[in-house]
């Protein structure tokens, strides 16, 4: 997967999206990005998903992204902590599943959580 993380950085460079960190495990990806002021988060996700899907298929993987995504803002003071978190995904998911992680994060942010909305 490290090649995919580098590819995300290349996609970002080509579209004005600064990719600060990329990482994940077999069933999801975390990206810490800085968006251009005139780009909506949905557009950035579309660009990143479309281009990475094409690259994965070109490398022989039968792959498609799920329909949804989660996007959260990060303060500058938390940037390094988030980058460290993304870098150590495998270790985090040895302790907690993606579903459990996502639910805990959403609740920590003070948002309501419905598994049907989040996971279909």
Whole-number pLDDT of residue 66:
83
What is the pLDDT tens value at each position of the chain, 120 positions in all?
789 999 999 999 999 999 999 998 877 899 999 999 999 999 999 999 999 999 999 999 888 888 888 888 999 999 999 999 899 887 877 788 888 888 888 888 888 888 887 776
Quote the CA–CA distance of 74 and 77 in Å, as a whole number. Answer: 8
Whole-number pLDDT of residue 100:
85
**Whole-prediction pTM:** 0.85
**Domains assigned to the chain:** 2-119 (3.30.70.1290)
Element spanning 53, H or E: helix 41-58
Indicate the pairing of strand 18-25 with strand 28-34: antiparallel
| 3-state DSSP assignment of residue 59 | coil
- Contact at 8 Å (CB) between 22 and 5? yes
- Contact at 8 Å (CB) between 48 and 12? yes
């Amino acid at each position: 997967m490290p090649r995919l993380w580098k590819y995300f950085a290349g996609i970002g460079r080509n579209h004005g999206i600064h990719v600060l960190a990329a990482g994940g495990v077999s069933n999801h990806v975390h990206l810490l990005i800085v968006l251009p002021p005139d780009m909506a988060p949905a557009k950035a996700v579309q660009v990143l998903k479309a281009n990475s899907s094409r690259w994965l298929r070109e490398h022989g993987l039968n792959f498609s992204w799920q329909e949804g995504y989660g996007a959260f803002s990060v303060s500058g003071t938390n940037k390094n902590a988030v980058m460290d978190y993304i870098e150590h995904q495998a270790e985090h998911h040895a302790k907690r599943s993606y579903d459990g992680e996502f639910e805990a994060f959403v609740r920590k942010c003070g948002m309501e959580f419905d598994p049907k909305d989040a996971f279909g």
